[in-house]
Amino acid sequence: MQEIMNRMKARAIALLADGTVSRVMGWEKGEGEYDWSPALFENAEEMEAFVYGDYAGANLSKYCLKLGKLEGKTLVILKPCDTLSFKQLIHEHRLEREKFYIIGAGCTGMKDEKGALLKCNACKSKEFAIYDEIIDSEESRKPTGVMDRMAGVADLEQMTAQERYDFWQGELSRCIRCNACRNVCPACTCIKCVFDNPASGVQSKAPVTSFEENMFHIIRAYHVAGRCTDCGECSRVCPQNIPLHLLNRKLIKDMNELYGEYQAGEGDEERTPLTSYTKEDAEPGIVHERGRA
C-alpha cells in the first residue's frame, strides 16, 4: 500500500502541476494512527500530508457533489467499491464526469481501530466501475473479505416475525437521529431531505416514538433502494452501532432474487429495479407466502 500511495502522490502532484486538475481529494493523517480524515489538497506543498492506505476507509464519492460545483477538475481517489457510488451518481445526473479525474485506488481491505471494516469483510469487487487511471498492485487485485454478503440478512429471515421485531426494536431504539447515516450516504443526495422538509408530512428531528424510529429507517432504506451500492458507510459511521446495512442488503437481496441480479453503479443502465418492470414480475403476495409453505 505504501508503494501505491507513493505512486498516487507523485501522479497527483504531476497532474496538479500540469494543470489537469485543480485539486486533489484524498486523505490525511489525524492525531493517532487510525484516525485518518478525508482532505482536500490544492498544491504540491499541501500534498505532503496526503496519505493512502489501510485507514482510508471513507467513501469520497459524496464529497464530489460539492467538488463538482467548483471551478476546474478535481482529482478524486476512489477505491473499487467507491467507484460504484460515483458511477451511480453519474447515472443520477448528480455529477458531471468531465469535472473529475478519477484515480482508481487498489485496495487490500480497509481497517479502523477495531480491525477490518465491516464492508470489507464481504468485498463486492476489485473492479473499477469508472476511472481515468488505476494505481494498484498485484496484491490489491487479489480478492479480500470473502464472507457471504447476505449472510446477516439470511439469518434474520430465518427468525420468526416476533424475533425480527424484537431484534430491530432493540437496534433502532438506540437511534439518536444524528443523521450520520443519511449524510454520509452517497445515495442520499436530496437537496432537501423529506425528514427536514416541513411540507413533506414526515418531517421529524428526533425519534420521539418507536414509530418515528422505524419510520426514518424504513423510508431511508426505501428511498435508496435500487440506488444503494451497498458501500457500507451507513453502518460504519453510526455512532450507535446500528447495523443499518442489513436493511439495505435485504432490499438488494430481494431485488436480486425477484428482479434479477443487479448492482447499482455497475454498467451503463440508468434504470434501477424500481424504475423498471417486467410483465411477469412476482406479485406482492410473494412476501405473504414466504415461510408459509
Q: Taking CB under 8 A as the rule, which mask of x and - marks residues 22-61 in contact with other proteins?
A: --------xxx--xxxxxx-----------------x---
Q: Using the rule CB under 8 A, which residue among 151, 200, 260, 267 binds other proteins?
A: 200
142 vs 205 by CB, closer to other proteins = 205
19 vs 201 by CB, closer to other proteins = 201
Q: Using the rule CB under 8 A, which residue among 134, 157, 256, 262 binds other proteins?
A: 157
50 vs 140 by CB, closer to other proteins = 50
2 vs 241 by CB, closer to other proteins = 241
| Nearest residue to 232 via CA among 264, 289, 175, 185 | 185
Nearest-approach distance from CB 20 to other proteins, in angstroms: 21
Joined grid coordinates for residue 184: 454520509
Which positions from 178 through 197 interact with other proteins, judged by CB under 8 A?
Answer: 178-180, 182-184, 189-194, 196-197
45 vs 192 by CB, closer to other proteins = 192
Q: Taking CB under 8 A as the rule, which mask of x and - marks residues 258-277 in contact with other proteins?
A: xx----------xxxxxxxx
Which positions from 112 through 151 interact with other proteins, judged by CB under 8 A?
Answer: none
Nearest-approach distance from CB 30 to other proteins, in angstroms: 5
**Under rule CB under 8 A, residue 163 binds other proteins:** yes
Identity (one letter) of the amino acid at 241? N
| Nearest residue to 234 via CA among 161, 288, 286, 171 | 171
143 vs 285 by CB, closer to other proteins = 285
**Under rule CB under 8 A, residue 155 binds other proteins:** no
Candidates 14-22, 77-85, 100-108, 170-178; binding stretch for other proteins (CB under 8 A): 170-178
Which positions from 215 through 244 interact with other proteins, judged by CB under 8 A?
Answer: 215, 218-219, 221-225, 233, 236-237, 239-241
Q: Using alpha carbons, list the distances in angstroms from residue 141 to 72, 105, 151, 230.
A: 31, 10, 24, 20
- Residues 222-226: contacts with CB under 8 Å, at least 24 apart: 222/251, 223/187, 223/188, 223/194, 224/185, 224/187, 224/188, 224/248, 225/251, 225/255, 225/272, 225/273, 225/274, 226/251, 226/255, 226/262, 226/264, 226/272, 226/273, 226/274, 226/275
36 vs 128 by CB, closer to other proteins = 36
Nearest-approach distance from CB 201 to other proteins, in angstroms: 5
Burial of 259 (0-12, 13-18, 19+ CB in 10 A): middle
**Under rule CB under 8 A, residue 87 binds other proteins:** no
What distance in Å separates the CA atoms of residue 176 and residue 264, rounded to the nearest whole number? 29
| Nearest residue to 200 via CA among 219, 177, 176 | 219
Burial of 123 (0-12, 13-18, 19+ CB in 10 A): buried
